[in-house]
Structure 1
Amino acid sequence: MAVGRRKLRNPLALAVLVLLAERSPMHPYEIAQTLRRRGKEYSIKINYGSLYTVVQNLEKHGFVEVADVQREGNRPERTRYALTPEGREEMLDWMADIVAVPVHEFPIFETALCLMGILPPDDVAELLEQRVSTMEVRAAGLRGALLKLTETIPRVLLVETEYQLHMVDAEIQWVRGFLKEMAEGTLDGLDGWRGWHATGRLPEEWERLEEADTDG
């Protein structure tokens, strides 16, 4: 099934399907606790308040079904859910799609980079230095966590944290290279950028580029 035609596209729904494939039946609270215990909130945007809605939507589309209802003492009833054959098929197909097919996800930092010209170059350099400092702290934390966790947990269960660390390191390296070009004055277009903020007018060569795009 193509990604665009999926009935559900919330990654939290996929996480629910995977957990139910591991162990069924489970109730939503148990699913939430399992995700939290495994630290998956660092890799999946988890809104525990909406988890029940996610499960209900999965049931609506036939991907999970009610297995039983538990009651312990005076506690409220807990409905436990199990994966359906349709849910297993959807889960496997969905996983195959996201592992194999790259998708541009429009990260917010990329948005900031494409619009950063509105800020003066010196301000951008200062802000990027702050970002690098924060990212280096994050990288150190991830590196320490991986070192500790690999003592008792197989690497295959930690690959998302390893991936996060590689991406953070790559971003730090790129930003530091960009800052070096700004500091040395070798960044193409830097003079025009400075001139824009000194005069309040876009560089003529930038305006010509926009005119060329319009003519095309």
Structure 2
Amino acid sequence: MATRRPVRNLLALAVLTAVVQRPMHPYEMASVLRARGKDQDMRIKWGSLYTVVRNLEKHGLLEAVESTRQGARPERTVYRITDAGRAEAEDWTRELLSTPHHEPSPFEAGLSVMGGLGPGEVVPLLRRRLQLLEGRIEADRQDLERERRELPRLFLVESEYALAMREAEAAWVRSLLAELAGGTFPGMGEWRAYHETGRLPSDVAGLAERGLATE
């Protein structure tokens, strides 16, 4: 069996799934993807669209079918998907649906260094995050309810997933806040004392020393 390479460029996948419907030139591809809200579902760098299209053509996943020019506008090349491109798009979709991929978030990064701030500062920061999350969740619920009256669910499942992830994050932040505000978070006293005295607790200092020893 051939080795399957991981999906890296989600813009390439978005392009293939757009062109599978009909041939398009890159400007039209961008318009279709924006209209579908793909820039909300994927991290898309629009400036690299033409490079992505050329690479898809280079690898035989797209092929040029015609070039057109209107007045003084630059020439536009229309591309269609090849059989190999269709198979590749289907394979990418199977991988994305079946295989979990962990992408660390900025929030995870913040949590990993949370100890650098005192508990008294962390609590209002998390409360602010929760407030923003709850506002976004309410807006997303309203948007989803409106879209359900206009679109089949097949085209809304990614929005449902995004809403569910935000609701789960809000619930987790709410639980963490309850521990911090209630003083039940393990090691709370030592954490607070560190920021009051500047001295690391002995167990934390030991961990830091072991970390340095392994470098």
Letter in 1 for 2:183: G
Aligned counterpart, 1:115: 113
Alpha-carbon shift at residue 38 of structure 1 (Å): 1.4
Letter in 2 for 1:171: E
* Greater mean alpha carbon deviation, residues 70-79 or residues 94-103: 70-79
Letter in 1 for 2:202: E
Equivalent residue in structure 2 for 1:80, among 67, 78, 81: 78
Aligned counterpart, 1:52: 50
Aligned counterpart, 1:195: 193
Alpha-carbon shift at residue 207 of structure 1 (Å): 2.0
Aligned counterpart, 1:162: 160
> 5+ residue gaps in structure 1?
none
Residue 51 of structure 1: SS of its match in structure 2?
helix
**Structure 2 CA distance, aligned partners of 1:198 and 1:46?**
44
**Superposed CA RMSD:** 1.7
**Structure 1 CA distance, aligned partners of 2:182 and 2:3?**
47
Letter in 1 for 2:20: A
**Structure 2 CA distance, aligned partners of 1:187 and 1:130?**
19
Letter in 2 for 1:18: T
* Greater mean alpha carbon deviation, residues 66-75 or residues 113-122: 66-75
Aligned counterpart, 1:11: 10
Alpha-carbon shift at residue 2 of structure 1 (Å): 5.0
Letter in 2 for 1:178: L
Aligned counterpart, 1:95: 93
Alpha-carbon shift at residue 47 of structure 1 (Å): 2.2
Residue 67 of structure 2: SS of its match in structure 1?
strand
**Structure 2 CA distance, aligned partners of 1:74 and 1:182?**
64
Letter in 2 for 1:106: P
**Structure 2 CA distance, aligned partners of 1:62 and 1:106?**
33
- Residues 113, 80 of structure 1: CA spacing in aligned structure 2 closer, same or farther, 3 A cutoff? same
> 5+ residue gaps in structure 2?
none
* Residue 150 of structure 2 corresponds to residue 152 of structure 1: yes
* Residue 151 of structure 2 corresponds to residue 138 of structure 1: no
Contact 2:14 2:38 in 1 (8 A): no
Aligned counterpart, 1:183: 181
Q: CA-to-partner distance for each residue in 1:74-100, whole Å, 9 max, x for gaps?
A: 332110111112212211111111110
Aligned counterpart, 1:22: 21
* Greater mean alpha carbon deviation, residues 176-185 or residues 51-60: 51-60
Residue 66 of structure 2: SS of its match in structure 1?
strand
Q: CA-to-partner distance for each residue in 1:13-67, whole Å, 9 max, x for gaps?
A: 11001111122x1111101101111122111122222211111111122211111
- Residues 114, 154 of structure 1: CA spacing in aligned structure 2 closer, same or farther, 3 A cutoff? same
TM-score scaled by length of structure 2: 0.92
* Residue 36 of structure 2 corresponds to residue 41 of structure 1: no
* Greater mean alpha carbon deviation, residues 179-188 or residues 36-45: 36-45
Q: Segments of 4+ in structure 1 off by > 3 A?
A: 209-215
Q: Percent of aligned positions with the same letter in both sequences?
A: 47
**Structure 2 CA distance, aligned partners of 1:194 and 1:188?**
11
Letter in 2 for 1:60: K
Q: CA-to-partner distance for each residue in 1:153-194, whole Å, 9 max, x for gaps?
A: 111111111111111111111001100001111001111111
Alpha-carbon shift at residue 210 of structure 1 (Å): 4.1
Residue 63 of structure 2: SS of its match in structure 1?
strand
